[in-house]
Chain A
Amino acid sequence: MSHRLTVLAAALMLAGAAHAADQIKVGFVSTLSGPGAGLGVDIRDGFNLAMKQLNGKLGGLPAEVLIADDQQSPDIAKQTADKFLKKDKVDFMTGIVFSNIMLAVGPTVFENKTFYISANAGPSQYAGEQCNPFFFNVAWQNDNLHEAVGKVVQDKGFKNVVIVTPNYPGGKDAVSGFKRYYKGKVAEEVYTKLGQLDYAAELAQIRNLKPDALFFFLPGGMGINFVKQFVSAGLSRDTQLFAPGFSADEDVIKAVGAPMMGMFNSSHWAHDMDNPENKRFVADFQKEYNRLPSLYASQGYDAALMIDGAVRDVKGKVEDKAALQKALEAKRFKSVRGDFKFNTNHYPVQNYYLRAIGKDAQGRITNKTMGTIFTNHADAYVAQCKMK
């Protein structure tokens, strides 16, 4: 009897697979330990919050999110992605924080014809010549936030700038983005090891160069240590700090505190943006995790909503890759950053805003939106993308 039941169950499962999927599986690989952990944790918490609001379903179908830590290592990320793709047969992948890891994992995912929805890493490679139908970035292209800072530094009339960034693909994108809009003198480009925590040698060098502004892109723990050490070396008196939103969001502010006040940064999203989706997101996030969300959390949240909208659009038939791609491109969800659309290279065309760190009405040190830097801004690589 039990044998016959098993056969019946197996037959039912086979029948189910031929039509719409009965369950959506998402493989979530992210950096959840080490100095970059804050970023991955925020993306995960944002994603999970959306899942909770959607009652654990994506596009109306029961969903399972498999979460794994890549320990900020491309090798471990690739092994985990292989397992998710081959053994667990996930329908979507997301979660990767760092561009070098994204570039290592990408080919395996694309070969398997699985859609990757990037909630953070936006390497220039995948925006230009190596653009791929199976890659979507729901956040930004790496250069974008840096371009916005470059424009602000240029417009504010700073003349002598030092750039500090880690020596990895995301760091190179940061420098080219910044220099695309800042046309003044760059006294020095300082490249550090990814994950470096002690900046004594670099800070001595910066002191010697006497810049009037310093642009740094050091995500996660790197930025926390850099700002602390910058202030304790007494450099903040003569040099104005600028950073993309990554190095000046809630994770860094919480760790550094008052020394961050007055720092300018750029972002495509801010927790004080006035739209109903964002208000709900920020309120629910605070209720759930008892802290303000960062831009990473908003990106994880949007990634979940994007998958939800696309699966709903194809009525659960995720096996029809062409239809699913169309649905993803059509952006069937309302983002917490307000409206945006996808470019032909599957990267967003959107607004970028200037934020400044100060005290809010409740006396918390946090970001405040000051104005718009770019309107409907596209990335610089889209012309090189010949989407197949």
Chain B
Amino acid sequence: MTQLFLEQALNGLQFGLMLFLLAAGLTLVFGIMDCINLAHGSLYMVGAYLVAAAAQAADSFWIGLGAGVAGAAVLGLLLELSLFRQLYKRDHLSQVLATFALILIANEAVRIIWGAQPVMLNPPEALSGPVEIGNFFYPAYRLVIIGFGLAVAGLLYLLVAKSRVGMWVRAGASNREMTEALGINVQALFTAVFVFGTALCALAGGLLGPLLAVQVGMGESVLILAFVVIIIGGIGSIRGALVGSLIVGSVDTLGRALLPTLLRALLPADAASTLGPALASILIYLLMAGILFFKPQGLFPARA
């Protein structure tokens, strides 16, 4: 029983931390630049493809991860300079239209370059088995993912809460005009934040590649979850993104693990087997609705 509980808790943590890598970039871009970036999921997909391609070329997962993330960051820089810079001043509808177009372009481009079938990315050989601590088993690769997630969360905390750049970012999130009036080069700041967000996306894509599948359209489903996370956490807040990610990750994992079993005790087997998975997948949205009812600005609103 302890094994089950601990394993599910780690699963929830692992899923939550990966969502955090995505949500962190999204919430900064949305909160500070007031720009809705629907193509955030596409950057995650392109990042995963770049990591997979680099890993295959170098025959090493870690070199591939580094090269892929760097490549995605360069792509993010080019996108910001060419397209997003024009979008910040536009209304939300223009942003949605432009970034939706980016999703379609990215999906087709990936289909043309890498084909429609998923690309295989394998974890390093040493991490392909389980870690054993006494009677407790857990996949080694998932532990590494958790390690990466915690490291990034810690780094972001130091960066945002303790550094001067972080102070500018927080200031920009709570009052953009005033920050500009104080003489901060907001344009350069925006570029840096956007590139950083893209790199985090690609890191998540590369790390999840061996667990999931690197394929066209992988960004869309995860984008919806990332939006749920930042809405729960409060738009523009890194702390909110972290808490929101962990809540969504745990609720999703526990819902999938416990609901079908619970329902089976109450309902006939065939009804439970249909209702359980369906309920588990709407649980996150119920949670979001509940939190928004009590806290319409999310848990940690940046512009309180």
Using CB atoms and an 8 Å cutoff, list the residues of chain A in contact with chain B.
32-35, 37-38, 41, 69, 167, 188-193, 197-198, 200-202, 204-205, 207-208, 221, 224-225, 229, 231-234, 255
Contacts and interface: CB of A to CB of B under 8 A. Distances in A.
B139 A233 contact: yes
Interface stretch (B1-9, B171-179, B199-207, B290-298): B1-9
A33 B130 contact: no
Contact of B281 (A41, A69, A193, A197): A193
B142 interface: yes
A292 B76 CA distance: 41
Bin the interface of chain B by size: 35 or more
Contact of A32 (B7, B11, B116, B211): B116
A207 B273 CA distance: 20
Contacts of A34: 116, 118, 215-217
B117 A41 contact: yes
A225 B1 CA distance: 25
Contacts of A221: 118, 213, 215
A197 B137 contact: no
Contacts of A200: 11, 14-15, 139, 142, 253
A191 B280 CA distance: 11
29 contacts: A32-B116, A33-B111, A34-B116, A34-B216, A35-B215, A41-B117, A167-B273, A167-B277, A167-B278, A189-B273, A193-B281, A197-B211, A200-B15, A200-B142, A201-B254, A202-B256, A204-B3, A204-B7, A204-B8, A207-B4, A207-B7, A208-B1, A221-B215, A225-B212, A225-B213, A232-B129, A232-B140, A234-B132, A234-B139
B273 A201 contact: no
Contact of A201 (B137, B217, B256, B276): B256
A201 B11 CA distance: 7
A198 B211 contact: yes
The 8 A-B pairs with the shortest beta carbon distances in the complex, nearest first, are A234-B130, A33-B116, A204-B7, A200-B11, A208-B4, A197-B212, A232-B139, A201-B256
A198 B212 contact: yes
Contacts of A233: 130, 137-139
Contact of B213 (A35, A69, A202): A35
B133 to A, nearest CB: 12
Interface string B94-118: 0000000000000000010000111
Which has the most chain B C-beta neighbours within 10 Å: A38, A193, A198, A200? A200
Given A37-B116, A201-B257, 12 more contacts: A33-B116, A167-B273, A188-B261, A191-B273, A200-B139, A204-B7, A205-B4, A208-B3, A224-B213, A229-B139, A233-B138, A234-B129
A189 B271 CA distance: 13
Contacts of A189: 269, 273
B141 A193 contact: no
Interface centre among A32, A38, A208 (most CB of B within 10 A): A208
B118 A232 contact: no
B251 to A, nearest CB: 11
Interface in B254-281: 254, 256-257, 260-261, 269, 273-274, 276-278, 281
B161 interface: no
Contacts of A197: 211-213
Contacts of A33: 111, 116-117, 215-217
Contact of B277 (A38, A192, A208, A225): A192
Nearest to A190: B260
Interface string B136-158: 01111110000000000000000
Contacts of A167: 273-274, 277-278
A306 B3 CA distance: 53
Nearest to A209: B4
Contacts of B1: 208
Contacts of B130: 232-234
B128 interface: yes
B137 A207 contact: yes
B75 interface: no
Contact of A232 (B7, B15, B128): B128
B267 to A, nearest CB: 13
B15 to A, nearest CB: 7
B118 A35 contact: yes
Nearest to A194: B277
Contacts of B15: 198, 200
Contacts of A231: 128-129
Contacts of A224: 213
A30 to B, nearest CB: 11
Contact of B8 (A192, A201, A255): A201
Nearest to B276: A191
A93 B91 CA distance: 47
B32 to A, nearest CB: 31
A204 B4 contact: yes
Contacts of B11: 200-201, 204
Contacts of B14: 200
Interface in B4-25: 4, 7-8, 11, 14-15
Interface in B187-232: 211-213, 215-217
Nearest to B281: A193
A166 B83 CA distance: 41
Contacts of B256: 201-202
